[in-house]
Structure 1
Amino acid sequence: MQRRMKRRITYRRSYRIMRRRYRQAAKSAARPKMRFNTKLQARRVLRSDAVPVVSVIIPAMNEQKTIAAVVREALRVHPSCEVIVVANGCRDRTAEAAESAGARVLRYEQPLGHDAGRSVGTQAARGQVMLYLDGDMPIKAPQLRPFAVAVLGGVDVALNRYNGPVRLRQAHPVVQAKHALNTLLRRPDLQGASLTAVPHALSRRAIDLLGTECLSVPPLALAQAVVAGLRVETVHEVPVGRLNRRRAKVDGIDPLQQVVLTDHIQAVNWYLSETGPRGGRTDLGRERKRVRR
């Protein structure tokens, strides 16, 4: 209980300090002179910082309609911030829209695959905090800042506290997989929180220790972070289930669901290879070899 209270106090102090610095930076910034029609509002475009504290990584594929709004909110997370959009396999003007909104854009003609953009964007990131978003999901900056604050306060993996719909007769298979993996990792306190869901943030220390390749398989990255002893916590809830767009099914099956479930199986296999077939848990002295087959 005391540890939780101390963490809450640390988060609040970090948030106050960051908010004060943000306001000071906003006041001291020179406002460019503009001439505009009174019927139109002038919008000042923020740009990515050359030496950022926070790097926001956004994989995007054909997200022309939403990417600009995502970038604009991301740039408001911290006074020293860069936004990296990994535009891959785009057939529209996603890259141009992101660049116009102030992002640094990495262009790839072919699709990189689900979540692979996170690995690519992280390799190019220069910040001490890596914040991950999706290009089709605009989230207001005040909902994103707690993740940066948590990492600046010492958390290595700051997770979205969103658990998904669990009070159902039959929970979604992905929700079940998240809860099962966290229980296997001996972190039932995380409930359904996962690196699969945005927003979430990682520290530079976590990236240096885990590398960037595992970020393409978010459940695997979470398992490796827990085993490595990194500080993994849920810090803020963003109900992304309401924001996610509905995807088309193929023969009644959601292809993305199958990818996410396979990612969890990969994480379980890795964990058992590291801890033994019982996940490091005791067999209570049972000698199974003596049992006839």
Structure 2
Amino acid sequence: MRKQRIKGRFATKTGNKRSGGTTRRKRLSSGSKKGTKAYVLIAPVTVEENVQEKGKPARNDKETDRQIGEEVHGPLLSVIIPAMNEQRTIAAVVRECSRICRDAEVLVVVNGSTDATASEAKRAGARVIQYAEALGHDGGRRVGAAAARGQILLFTDADIKVPAEQLAPFVQAVLKGVDVALNDYNGPVTRNPVHPVVEAKHMLNSLLSRSDLGGASMTAIPHAISRKTLGIIETASLEIPPLAHAKAILGGLRVQAVHHVPVGRLNAVRSKKRSEADPLSQVVLQDHLEAIRWMTDTRGARGGYPDLERVRSLTR
């Protein structure tokens, strides 16, 4: 079966092979200075696959871009990076995000920083939104999403340098119709005991009848959403990722774990005494409780689950 080369604009690993054949790639100049990496174009699907999936004739990338951009005049992609005192890593993170595709903006929401995070981000080419005060956990996501102009929003962190080749699949998934493209990361489930945050992610997906997602969650980065998703889950809910996650699934959006990025291994270990409680874990657990409360508020006391044959009124 002959594959049709379809232009894309995403960074991909060169020299990699897919099972069943080698993906055809073409290296293009990125227009950057000598010594920088070039963009790599990849044919994502064949003509036959496109027809089979969509039930209509295949479109080329120019037609796709026209449809994506016809309602909103802005970049295709907005990458949102909250940052607080991350001057050592922010420039490298911004540069990787800038390589994902040509039609992109990188927004760094610098809040509560006392170092050179903002200037390093600007020097690397980011659009910087700055607050003197700390916005709190995930507050930067909400602020960045409200300011973003792109039709796809990709979220990542300032302290983890994820290669552009590992970020591009999330953007590609949204282009192909996924509303929320999650990191296919389950967390360290083999540890004994399992971390309570890992348990909470699995539990919430089970309550949402999406146990197929495992521990994939909007709490973890990287993940991408469509602008349509932002309208349904509301920008404010991004401050509480499990709540945004629940709203997306119960709102009928297409939520998928699309690509595995081992953020647990990439993330720098932050030192703390074993006897001390982890305040961040406590925040994330409370976020999951808020998601469950929203489910019971909107779907009844049992969150939409039946009570079967119990007649509670007769036992009073």
TM range (shorter): 0.7 to 0.9
Match of 1:206 among 229, 241, 250: 229
Asked if 2 retains the 8 angstrom alpha-carbon contact of 1:21 and 1:79, the reply is no
1:58-77 aligned at under 5 Å gives the runs: 58-77=81-100
Correspondence for 1:135: 158
Q: Which amino acid aligns with 2:268?
A: R
1:212-223 aligned at under 5 Å gives the runs: 212-223=235-246
CA deviation digits over 1:126-171, x for unaligned, max 9?
A: 1111000100000100000000000011111000000001123311
Does 1:144 pair with 2:167? yes
- CA shift for structure 1 position 31: 5.6
- CA shift for structure 1 position 286: 1.1
1:14-53 aligned at under 5 Å gives the runs: 17-19=7-9, 26-27=28-29, 30=31, 51-53=74-76
How many matched pairs? Answer: 268
Match of 2:177 among 142, 154, 161: 154
1:238-277 aligned at under 5 Å gives the runs: 238-249=261-272, 252-277=276-301
- CA shift for structure 1 position 195: 0.5
Correspondence for 1:183: 206
- CA shift for structure 1 position 246: 2.5
Correspondence for 1:105: 128
Q: Which amino acid aligns with 2:263?
A: V
- CA shift for structure 1 position 221: 0.2
Share of identical aligned residues, percent? 53
Correspondence for 1:164: 187
Correspondence for 1:80: 103
Can you give the 5+ residue segments of structure 1 that lack an aligned partner in the other structure? 1-11, 33-40
Q: Residue 136 of structure 2: SS of its match in structure 1?
A: coil
State how far apart, in whole Å, the 1-side matches of 2:269 and 2:109 are.
22
Q: Which amino acid aligns with 2:177?
A: G
Distance 1:244 1:270, change over 3 A: same
CA deviation digits over 1:211-256, x for unaligned, max 9?
A: 2100000000000111110110000000100122223447611110
Asked if 2 retains the 8 angstrom alpha-carbon contact of 1:247 and 1:254, the reply is no
Q: Residue 82 of structure 1: SS of its match in structure 2?
A: strand
Distance 1:20 1:274, change over 3 A: closer
Can you give the 5+ residue segments of structure 2 that lack an aligned partner in the other structure? 13-24, 40-72
Higher RCO (C-alpha under 8 Å, 6+ residues apart): 1
State how far apart, in whole Å, the 2-side matches of 1:262 and 1:177 are.
10
Distance 1:21 1:114, change over 3 A: closer
Q: Residue 18 of structure 1: SS of its match in structure 2?
A: coil
State how far apart, in whole Å, the 2-side matches of 1:194 and 1:154 are.
18
State how far apart, in whole Å, the 2-side matches of 1:21 and 1:183 are.
34
- CA shift for structure 1 position 19: 4.6
State how far apart, in whole Å, the 2-side matches of 1:31 and 1:262 are.
45
Distance 1:113 1:24, change over 3 A: same
Correspondence for 1:284: 308
Distance 1:212 1:13, change over 3 A: farther
Q: Residue 8 of structure 2: SS of its match in structure 1?
A: helix
Distance 1:26 1:51, change over 3 A: farther
Q: Which amino acid aligns with 1:184?
A: L
Q: Residue 201 of structure 1: SS of its match in structure 2?
A: strand
When structure 1 is superposed on structure 2, of 201-210 and 63-72 the one drifting more is 201-210
Match of 1:192 among 215, 240, 243: 215
State how far apart, in whole Å, the 1-side matches of 2:11 and 2:168 are.
13
Q: Which amino acid aligns with 1:277?
A: A
Correspondence for 2:59: none
Q: Residue 93 of structure 2: SS of its match in structure 1?
A: helix
Q: Residue 55 of structure 1: SS of its match in structure 2?
A: strand
TM-score by length of 1: 0.85
Root-mean-square deviation (CA, aligned residues, Å) is 2.6
Asked if 2 retains the 8 angstrom alpha-carbon contact of 1:248 and 1:254, the reply is no
Asked if 2 retains the 8 angstrom alpha-carbon contact of 1:165 and 1:175, the reply is yes
State how far apart, in whole Å, the 2-side matches of 1:75 and 1:187 are.
33
